[in-house]
Amino acid sequence: MIHVEKHPALIPDFEFTKENMIEYGLSIPSLFNINLQGNINTAKHLSIRVNGLTKARITNIDSPGIEILRSYSSLTRSKSKTYRRNIKFNYLIKSLFYAESVEIYLEKESGADLNLSFQSQNIEVESKADTDTKKHFILKYSGNQAPFAAQFVKGKDFDIM
C-alpha cells in the first residue's frame, strides 16, 4: 500500500466529541495510536477532529493495482481450492482512507483521572496547550501512516470496477 497513489477521498473532515463517544459507544480509532486512559465522563470537553482525508485504492488500473489484480487472477485459476476456501467468501480490502492530521482537544478538572497519550514517532506534533487541565494537540501525518478506515469487498467481487 505504500506505493499506491492517494487521491482526495471526497469526504469532509469530521469530528468525534465526548457526547458522540458516550452516546454511540465509540472509541478513539486505535490506528492513530491515540490512547485515552480513564473515564471520558469526567472530561469537561473532548473532541477528536480528523482532517484532510485521502483515499488509496489498491485496484487502480495502474501499478501496483495491475500487479495485484494479475496475481489475484492467477491465484483464482491455479489454486482454485485455496481461493474458494480462503478468499472467495471472505472480505478483502479494496481501499484505505487516510488522514492528513488529527486534532485532539481535551479539557478536564484538575486532578480528574483522565490521561491522553499518543505515539509521536515519525509524525509532526503541534502543541497548542499542554497543562494539567487542558490538552490541545495537532498530529500531522505524512505518507501512509494514518489509515483510519477501509473499504471491504467480498473476494468473489474483487476487481478494478
pLDDT digits (tens, 9 = 90+) for 62-113: 667 777 778 888 888 898 888 888 888 888 888 888 888 888 899 998 888 8
- Measured CA distances, 45 to 15, 33, 36, 40 (Å): 13, 20, 13, 9
> For the residues 104-132, what does the mean pLDDT come to?
85
Query: Do 36 and 48 form a contact (C-beta atoms < 8 A)?
Result: no
Predicted TM-score (pTM) of the model is 0.69
**pLDDT for position 146:** 65
Pair type for strands 43-57 and 91-108:
antiparallel
Closest CA to 119 of 134, 132, 131, 137: 137
Where are any strands of DSSP class E within the chain? 6-8, 14-17, 34-38, 43-57, 91-108, 114-118, 124-130, 134-140, 147-154
**pLDDT for position 23:** 85
All three cell numbers of 69: 489484480
Question: Which residues have a Cβ under 8 Å from the Cβ of 159 and sit 6 or more positions away?
Answer: 59, 69
